[in-house]
């Protein structure tokens, strides 16, 4: 599953979406917050409903940020951004993300 909270996520996550499909996996965009459905391609599978994402039962959730609801199944994989202490200070809790 590809977790989109901001529209800029599509450009970075789309190759992961295409790779998953190319390997015979199902893929789903979960678009929340400021994300917009207008950036989807016609053939792409997407939802704006958290319940749909939970029912999808992803093995992995790819995200550009560092916050994904823990009740969504699957390992959480942070793509592109790192947990940068200099930007945020050292006051953030560990979020259980695999940083890619």
Tokens of 9: 């996520």
Supply the Cα-derived Rg of the chain in whole angstroms. 13
Distance (Å, rounded) from C-alpha 14 to C-alpha 3?
Answer: 11
Backbone dihedral region for residue 89 (phi beyond 0: left; psi -120 to 50: alpha; all else: beta): left
Distance (Å, rounded) from C-alpha 65 to C-alpha 88?
Answer: 13
Per DSSP, the three-state class of 97 is strand
Q: What pLDDT does residue 25 have?
A: 96
DSSP lists the bridge partners of residue 55 as none
Q: pTM of the prediction?
A: 0.80
- pLDDT by residue for the chain (100 residues), tens digit each? 999 999 989 998 999 999 999 999 999 999 998 889 999 999 999 999 999 999 999 999 999 877 889 999 999 988 865 555 555 555 455 566 555 5
Q: What pLDDT does residue 35 have?
A: 86
Q: What pLDDT does residue 61 have?
A: 96
Q: What pLDDT does residue 66 have?
A: 75
55, HSE (Cβ side, Cα atoms, 13 Å): 7
DSSP lists the bridge partners of residue 78 as 63, 99
């Amino acid at each position: 599953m590809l977790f989109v909270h901001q529209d800029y996520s599509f450009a970075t996550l789309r190759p992961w979406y295409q790779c998953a499909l190319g390997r015979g996996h199902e893929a789903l965009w979960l678009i929340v917050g400021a994300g917009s459905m207008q950036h989807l391609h016609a053939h792409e599978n997407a939802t704006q409903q958290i319940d749909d994402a939970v029912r999808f039962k992803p093995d992995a959730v790819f995200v550009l940020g560092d916050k994904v609801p823990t009740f969504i199944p699957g390992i959480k994989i942070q793509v592109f951004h790192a947990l940068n202490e200099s930007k945020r200070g050292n006051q953030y809790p560990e979020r259980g993300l695999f940083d890619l």
